[in-house]
Amino acid sequence: VCPVSHRDDEDTLKILIATDIHLGYLEKDAIRGNDTYVTFDEILKHAKQNDVDFILLGGDLFHDNKPSRKSLHNCIELLRKYCMGDKPITFEILSDQAVNFSTSKFPWVNYQDENLNISIPVFSVHGNHDDPTGADGLCALDVLSCAGLVNHFGRSRSVEKVEVSPVLLQKGSTRIAMYGIGSIPDERLYRMFLNNQVTMLRPREDESSWFNLLVVHQNRSKHGATNYIPEQFLDDFLDLVVWGHEHECRIDPERNEQRLFYITQPGSSVVTSLSPGEAVKKHIGLLRVKGRKMNLEKIPLQTVRQFFIQDVVLRDHLNLFNPDHPKVTQKIEAFCQEKVDYTGGFEAFNVMRFNQKFVDRLANPKDVVHFVRHRECKDAKDEENINFDELLSRASAEVMQLRVEDLVKQYFATAEKNMQLSLLTEQGMGKAVQEFVDKEERDAIEELINYQLEKTQHHLKERRVEAVEEKIDEEGPDTTIIIISSSSEGPRRKNRSCKITNLYFLHLFIIFSTRKKQM
Amino acid sequence: VCPVSHRDDEDTLKILIATDIHLGYLEKDAIRGNDTYVTFDEILKHAKQNDVDFILLGGDLFHDNKPSRKSLHNCIELLRKYCMGDKPITFEILSDQAVNFSTSKFPWVNYQDENLNISIPVFSVHGNHDDPTGADGLCALDVLSCAGLVNHFGRSRSVEKVEVSPVLLQKGSTRIAMYGIGSIPDERLYRMFLNNQVTMLRPREDESSWFNLLVVHQNRSKHGATNYIPEQFLDDFLDLVVWGHEHECRIDPERNEQRLFYITQPGSSVVTSLSPGEAVKKHIGLLRVKGRKMNLEKIPLQTVRQFFIQDVVLRDHLNLFNPDHPKVTQKIEAFCQEKVDYTGGFEAFNVMRFNQKFVDRLANPKDVVHFVRHRECKDAKDEENINFDELLSRASAEVMQLRVEDLVKQYFATAEKNMQLSLLTEQGMGKAVQEFVDKEERDAIEELINYQLEKTQHHLKERRVEAVEEKIDEEGPDTTIIIISSSSEGPRRKNRSCKITNLYFLHLFIIFSTRKKQM
């Protein structure tokens, strides 16, 4: 894979790539409320101006699982405005569309629908924010796909295996096999990779002639032992991976030296968390593919507010701020106005009052300065350098040797993050409550209870613990407390040393109220 | 206005009329969950089979103000399935579409959009269930209209006056002026009619050549002195009024002898309340208009479950059931299985247990039998026969003579249903809480408080009650209790005698689990 020339011709597929647009994020904020819509408008404008063949989105088009009416309305408005029109589509789809778009009520690509005049097709996987939930198993993208505005692909209905059937595209002599994996809980997908339950199907004809593109929406950075997808898990026939979910813009393709593919991580187009990754300048990509060569042009987004972040370690500046000095807090406060420094054992000054000074100049007057009590977590060093090939082959061999009882036990242990087995785990309950609140999924708690009850009954049946089974029936599915607790611990519990230190950090978060650069 | 022949020709406009489809009603019910979608499918199928020119809906297409994803998805699916296609549209719109569809982001009729291939345009006003709410002022129909699937019309943005600009349609020599008034709180609209603030604009050319059609979504039956719209309020140039909101099917056009127009009330296509009106067979209408003549053909809906209701007054059957007999309750229970009778002073039997006997046969096993303690409300008789013309002319004359102070006072009195003037009325708070709960309008309570605070401050300013004004400021807009109460009563407080009697009624509500007629 090496760069192609910028000259666009009949063999060059031009694709606009973007991810994590999070429509509706902070939409009730007086200053920032329209930011996501303004930036989505900019993104679609770039697509139109650059005359792309299609748009590829990496998930989290919506911030909320159940987008507000305003969010849905604005999204539909922008898609209809920019993606419908008379521009002819010059690529074709060779794969079986009924398979590619099997979850849609209209299982064919929107630009081939006789009743819709599409100028720029949008292809998207779903993210964790707009993932399918509820008894209907629908997600927000399905509403768009039903309306003919988006081609939702990469959805797997099974929770046991993932079989990815690529969308096969051809323009002139260039052929792209486009694989999509919509968001799956990281631990589940990690486990499926380990158990060889993730299959990427290859085109039958002329395997080597295809440019192989994968779009995923998962943790790329390690949030826990199995709470991410190591790059090495992915097949080495791939040419390019578009990585969604991670908000930091690392759009320049990075080569994975072990698997020999490139990864581009466009990052979100809006700042949703006050973290250093979000302070990196936001971009989208213009990907050109000709034959098996590619080129990725970065397009900086103009409408995204600049976000400035600085950590100040007070302890490093004892000469400036003596914690025992009676007026040290005022000194720090004064200093903050130009960027500051700090050390452990300090009192926090009134941040609210401080922040108010910037009401007219900043978009985030409520959270400019954060005091942080630092917490250090050190994972056991031996996890760092894992030979994933060995892990993968060893894992599947191990699986073969386990008995059913062990599998159930292991399933519980892994599913519940090595917590004690219980009918209603804290974690499960926490997730259900979160779905209930965040995603307005009213049945989430009942579903969780029924699901865990069934799971536990199944587990107990396997173990023939009949006495306890009766106890479950007595309590019935209406109870919401932990009622059964086995003392068995999950296998392979990792040693983790977690040290909480007493350092004060000072975070400065600055988002400008105008979109022009000020610093 | 007299009947036209059934022969369809190039001068006959064929319109399918339906209302109150309430998509999503009871959608989580195991038996009835899909009823509304099944019936909407049937309605659209009738439209297609009858080759209508367009569909006219009278509001409440959705049951919930914020329809569930499933509801929206299914609605979009059905509209795309039935209303898009290659059938040519043979009528044209002569009015200014930017005015007719002014609230849409795409203010033109969908079938004229170059990017959409519409076969059956749908025109709809909004109902009280799917009315605009929130800061964005959008309603569920706006999402459909933004997607190009529905033409939402008849929306007035002003709360002080309504000016209805008709959609002017022409097919061959037939011309229809189609007026729409989307749902407005009955009392507000009543007041606006009284104050001559409702204007129906007439076409400039050849006024007498138009067939004048109005679609409204209001209470038609009297729910209180001003809590409905008397038919007589409507202009007498109208030929036909399509009345939405009322669920009883009274689709055969009824002539208003005073105003000389016809009213057709299609009624809901789903039973949403256990009331006698809902037990009437459900229909939609096929309206043919040729010149100024019309014909309305009733189409019975096949997919609606049959609903049987019977009131049994126990007191009328003392010979069968003696309330003093020790086993009278069991006797009644036994009798209920074939339809029963009753009298005052009885004990209710276990309805839950009784209802369970019908689990397999009925769709409403949980609410077959209701015991009702009857409550009689008698309005003062003199309200019954009002001369509305006199009322209308007298009212506007009266308005001219009032001082500003009186106007404010009157406004409060009318707006708050003659209750005592207060910062937060029970009624206002009740409505806000209902919006918060029913419509998931999270800001409704805050908006109500701010609105009423402002209103009260304005009122006090007018009256120069400065001492009290300070008190308001003290309490601020965060408080949620009644803090100011004027002793002035609203004008014209009606005498109402309300007698609660102790009679027991027995309601039998039966909805069949299959859609075939069983009785």
- Are B73 and A443 inside 8 Å of each other by CB? no
Cβ-Cβ contacts under 8 Å for B51 (sequence gap 6 or more): B8, B14, B87
Nearest C-alpha in A relative to B72: A143
Of residues A415 and A241, which shows the higher confidence score? A241
Cross-chain residue pair B73–A114, CB shorter than 8 Å: no
The minimum CA-CA distance between B145 and chain A, rounded to whole Å, is 9
pLDDT for the residue A443: 62
pLDDT the model gives residue B512: 53
Closest CA relative to residue B24, chosen from B79, B59, B74: B74
Comparing CB atoms, the residue among A69, A117, A146 nearest residue B73 is A146
Q: Which strands, in side-by-side order, build the sheet including B54-57?
A: B151-152, B122-124, B54-57, B12-18, B283-290, B293-300
Measured in angstroms, the CA of A77 and the nearest CA of chain B are apart by 6
Marked catalytic residue, from A22, A126, A129, A459: A129
Residue to substitute from A146, A437, A440, A441, interface B, most B β-carbons within 10 A: A146
Is there a contact between B308 and B510 (Cβ–Cβ < 8 Å)? yes
pLDDT value at residue A8: 75
Nearest 5°: phi and psi at B485?
Answer: -140, 120
Nearest beta carbon to residue B115 from set A116, A134, A142? A116
* pLDDT exceeds cutoff 60 at A92: yes
Give residue B325's pLDDT.
75
Residue pLDDT, tens place only, A244-276: 999 999 999 999 999 999 999 999 999 888 778
Kindly provide the b/e burial profile for residues B82-110, where b requires at least 16 CB atoms within 10 angstroms of the residue's own CB.
bbbeeeebebebebebeebbebbebeebb
Q: How far is B77 from chain A (nearest CA, A)?
A: 6
CATH superfamily membership of A12-300: Metallo-dependent phosphatases (3.60.21.10)
pLDDT at A474: 31
Compare all CA atoms of chain B with the CA of A111 and give the residue at the minimum distance. Answer: B115
Indicate the domain borders of chain B. Answer: 12-300, 307-379+500-511, 382-475
Percent of chain A topping pLDDT 70: 60
Q: Say which range, A185-189, A348-352, B325-329, has the weakest mean pLDDT.
A: A348-352
Residue B491 structure tokens: 């004008």
Neighbours of B379 (CB within 10 A): 15
Distance of alpha carbon A117 from alpha carbon B343, whole angstroms:
67
Find the mean pLDDT for residues A317-344: 63
- From the list B63, B126, B129, B247, the catalytic residue is B129
> A430-482: per-residue pLDDT in tens?
565 555 555 556 566 556 656 665 665 665 566 554 433 333 333 222 222 22
Q: Give me the pLDDT at residue B392, please.
A: 59
Contact A138 B76 (CB under 8 A): no
Residue A389's Cβ-count burial label (10 Å; 0-12, 13-18, 19+) is exposed
Nearest to A363 by CA among A39, A34, A40, A30: A30
**Is residue B129 annotated as a catalytic residue, yes or no?**
yes
For residues B283 and B266, is the Cβ–Cβ distance under 8 A? yes
The full length of chain A comes to 519
Ordered per-residue pLDDT tens for chain B, 519 residues: 445 555 678 999 999 999 999 999 999 888 889 999 999 999 999 999 999 999 999 999 999 999 999 999 999 999 999 999 999 999 999 999 999 999 999 999 999 999 999 999 999 999 999 999 887 889 999 999 999 999 999 999 888 899 999 999 999 999 999 999 999 999 999 999 999 999 999 998 888 999 999 999 999 999 888 999 999 999 999 999 999 999 999 999 999 999 999 999 999 999 888 788 888 999 999 999 999 999 999 999 999 987 777 766 666 766 777 767 777 777 777 666 554 433 334 555 666 666 666 666 666 666 666 655 444 444 444 444 556 666 655 554 443 333 333 433 444 445 444 333 344 454 555 565 555 555 556 566 556 556 665 665 665 566 554 433 333 333 222 222 221 112 222 222 233 222 222 333 445 555 555 554 333
Type of residue at B32: R
Domain B307-379+500-511 superfamily per CATH: Mre11, capping domain (3.30.110.110)
CA distances from A75 to A24, A82, A149, B82 (A): 9, 11, 10, 24
Distance from CA of A162 to the nearest CA of B (A): 25
Strand A307-313, strand A54-57: pairing:
unpaired
Burial tier of B410 (Cβ tally within 10 Å: 0-12, 13-18, 19+): middle
| Structure-derived torsion over alpha carbons of residues B131, B134, B136, B140, reported in degrees to the nearest 10 | -30
- Which pTM value belongs to this model? 0.74
Say which range, A10-19, A389-398, A482-491, B411-420, has the weakest mean pLDDT.
A482-491
Distance CA B273, CA B267 (A): 13
Rounded CA-CA distance B351/B355 in Å is: 6
